[in-house]
Structures are given as structure tokens and as C-alpha cells.
Amino acid sequence: MSVTGKLAYHFYYQPLFWLNKFRKSGGLFNSIRIRNGKSEMEKAALQLKTAPVNDEAVNVYFLTGKKYWPLTAFCMYSLAKVGTIAIKPVFIDDGSFDAELIAQMQSQFAGCIIKTADEIAKNLEQKLPASKYPVLNKKRKEYPHIRKLTDIHTISDGWKLVLDSDMLFFKTPVQLQEWLTAPTAPLFLHDPITSYYYPENLMGQLAGSPVKPNLNVGAIGLKSEAIDWDKLEQWIIALENDSGECYLLEQALSAMLVAGQRIIVADQDEYIVMPDAQQIDKATATLHHYVDQSRNGYYTTAWRKVV
């Protein structure tokens, strides 16, 4: 970087970055409040525990790791607290698991299932070999979100519900529990906006049917053996050739996988994606998915309502 470039970065771009960050978080004092709330949440997360579950419990899957464990712990704990069926969490290694974290998981959620990076690598080598699926293997290294498809749905056949960590449950998730006990179709959350990034006409053209708008994969239920990996490989190439790379790729691909099919979308008034400040404060819905700026409300307010 040239001297001029360095000066521009330190005296213009970097201050502008922090100014915009403070504005989005509500100013300096609210930024401090958010930071302190996050620190308190992370400490509280390590104290959460659920009762042991047996083999009759229903599996729910989380892609997680050291960075996300406090969020994962709160999500799973909140689900166990308000749920009326036994849930067994399956924790999928994002590549950061170590002996200490595994011991923490087993201590907090007795009976949980842990899938390490080594196990996942063996599954991938068998079911998605790099020689046949070079793009999928490349993307999972560059783009962790796609591991919600590749790493989880190569474990075994059958229906699987995958939950994002940045969610909290406040009431018995009746609709989710009904799906878990008798899944009949793919399950999604409702997104307040359509967030696929890629052109919907292109997505529909590739998938062979129009894609349903406003699907969110914070909670997503798919049948593993129904996933066509050959199509995913080709879709990624076509989408990125047209519009480039985007972190919403996994959400777009998931919507394409179910194009033209009957799907179940969770009640948008009970399973809320990006709750506003009033909704966060009242916490009367079944679930909140804290995306974008609603994450600030998670750290300052929402997690406290769980404990």
C-alpha cells in the first residue's frame, strides 16, 4: 500500500468504518452496552445445562464452534426449556472443536452427539469426493454456511432439522415439534424480505421451477437423500458466473432445492426473523431469529429473558 493509501485508510476509511458502526448500534454508549451485554451473555452461556436425554430423543443439528458456542448453548437451552418433547442436540464441528470445547458440550448437554472434523472429512471423502465435486469442496472451505448442507446432510439419510445458533425460543414450538415428530415436507422460516442475492429468474430457470420468495434457513428441515449434489455443484457455478460470490449462497441453493415442491413455512407471527425492538422487549412470540441489527437487541435484552 502506498503512503497516500495508508494515510487515507488511517485518517478516512478507518474512522468512517467506526462512525458507521457506532451509528448502526445507536451511538457510543449503546455500543458499550452491547459489548458489555455480549460479554455477560458469553459468561452466562457456560453455566447453562439441560437434563440428560436418551436415544428416544429427536435429533436437532447445529453447525457450531468456539466462536459461536455461547449462542448455540443459549439456543439449545431455550429450546429444551420450553419444549415438550425430548431433544438431542447434534453438534457439528466447524473446524474449531478441541478437547476443552467437547468436554464443555458434554457437560452442559449430557447425551449430546458430537461430530468432529475428522468424521465429517471421512463422510465428505466418501459422498462428496473433491474429484467429482471440486466446487462444493472449494466453497465449504471459503464459505462456512454451506456446511449446513454438505457437512450435515452427508452424515446419514433421513429428515434433519438444522438450527442457526443466533435464535431463542420463548414458547413451546408446537409447529416445529409437529414437524420433528412427523416430517412430511421441507421446512423453512419466513424472511421479512427476499434474501437470495442471486436473480430469482435465473434461480428458477436452473431449478426447473420458480423459487418461493422469502424463505429463511435459520431453521431448515430437509431430507438428506433428496439433495441432488450434482445439481448443487452446477448451480453454484452458474450463479457465481452470473452474479459473483455472496454469503447468501446457501440460502439461495436451499430455496432452489425445494422449488416446485410442497413446503412448510413456519408461522411468521410466531417464528420471527429479525424482530424489532418492541418484539424483543415483549418476547411473546415462539422464536426470534436475531439477524442483522436485531443482534444488538439479543445482546442487550433477549438472552436475559431466557435465564
What is the per-residue pLDDT for 18? 46
Computed over its alpha carbons, how large is the radius of gyration of the chain? 20
Percent of the chain residues topping a pLDDT of 70: 91
pLDDT at 10 over 80: no
Q: Please give the CATH topology (third level) of the domain spanning 46-306.
A: Spore Coat Polysaccharide Biosynthesis Protein SpsA; Chain A (3.90.550)
What is the per-residue pLDDT for 262? 98
Query: pLDDT by residue (tens digit) across 286-304?
Result: 999 999 989 999 999 999 9
Q: Are the C-beta atoms of 183 and 275 separated by less than 8 Å?
A: no
- Cβ neighbours, 10 Å, residue 71: 24
In the chain, what are the domain boundaries?
A: 3-42, 46-306
55 band by pLDDT with thresholds 50, 70 and 90: confident
Interval 3-31 mean pLDDT:
57
Could you please report the per-residue DSSP string of 114-177?
A: EE-HHHHHHHHHHHS-TTT-HHHHHHHHH-GGGHHHHTTTTS-SSEEEEE-SSEEE-S--HHHH
Query: pLDDT by residue (tens digit) across 235-262?
Result: 999 999 999 999 999 999 999 999 999 9
Could you please report the per-residue DSSP string of 222-263?
A: EEGGG--HHHHHHHHHHHHHHH---TTHHHHHHHHHTTTS--
Cell numbers describing residue 222: 430437509
pLDDT at 205 over 80: yes
For residue 266, CA distances in Å to 74, 143, 152, 177, 223 come to 21, 26, 22, 11, 17
d(CA 52, CA 110): 5
Q: Are the C-beta atoms of 213 and 251 separated by less than 8 Å?
A: no
Query: pLDDT by residue (tens digit) across 137-157?
Result: 999 999 999 999 999 999 999
